[in-house]
A and B are shown apart, each in its own frame.
Chain A
């Protein structure tokens, strides 16, 4: 069983579209994250949720909106996609705010 799973793995879409990426963890963890990895492999935190509550909301455009329907899920919705949004997006979870994170396989988003 995959511990942290995100779908889709690949997403190609046109500028201006709205898209969602789903993430689920079956580890019983309290904390979930979204990270963005750019073309140079640099990883940057976007959002962090603890027990369904938003803890971190780094400086990302408000076109990005996370949604946590329950502790096991943290979805990422993106409105009005732009070329610069092209990246790999990783979902992750951790037991709590202080322990190591487990990552999903990533979603490669390409905006054309």
Chain B
């Protein structure tokens, strides 16, 4: 079956620290992988995506590389800001599937 395992939170970092949020997946076939972000009181926004092995998705200083050999899609950012405080969700979608499978979400708090 399809599933996403995401690093448990919450994560608290100081401003300008390096961020890694781990995500591994199990999927039938070759999934597309996504990171979504949910800011307080808002809906989910697509942060970045990768649709095949070795692709790197990037946006707003965040990056994630699709690693087929380790079935991972870890989210990284070199220098976080207070405005990055949010809940981050890793997700996958397989060809022919009809919905996104989400991880449990990781709450990030960045303190000044």
Which size class do B's interface residues fall under? 20 to 34
Interface residues of B: mostly helix, strand, loop or mixed?
strand
Is the Cβ of B44 less than 8 Å from the Cβ of A42?
no
For the complex, is B19 an interface residue (Cβ under 8 Å from A)?
A: no
CA distance A33 to B100 in the complex (A): 10
Interface residues of A: mostly helix, strand, loop or mixed?
strand
CA distance A98 to B95 in the complex (A): 6
Is the Cβ of B104 less than 8 Å from the Cβ of A98?
no
Please pick, from A42, A45, A55, the residue contacting B100 in the complex, using a CB distance under 8 A. A45
For the complex, is B98 an interface residue (Cβ under 8 Å from A)?
A: yes
Please pick, from A31, A41, A48, the residue contacting B105 in the complex, using a CB distance under 8 A. A41
Is the Cβ of B96 less than 8 Å from the Cβ of A97?
yes
Is the Cβ of A101 less than 8 Å from the Cβ of B100?
yes
**Besides A41-B107, A103-B43, 12 other CB < 8 A contacts?**
A4-B43, A43-B89, A43-B105, A45-B100, A90-B43, A98-B93, A98-B95, A98-B96, A98-B97, A99-B32, A100-B49, A105-B42
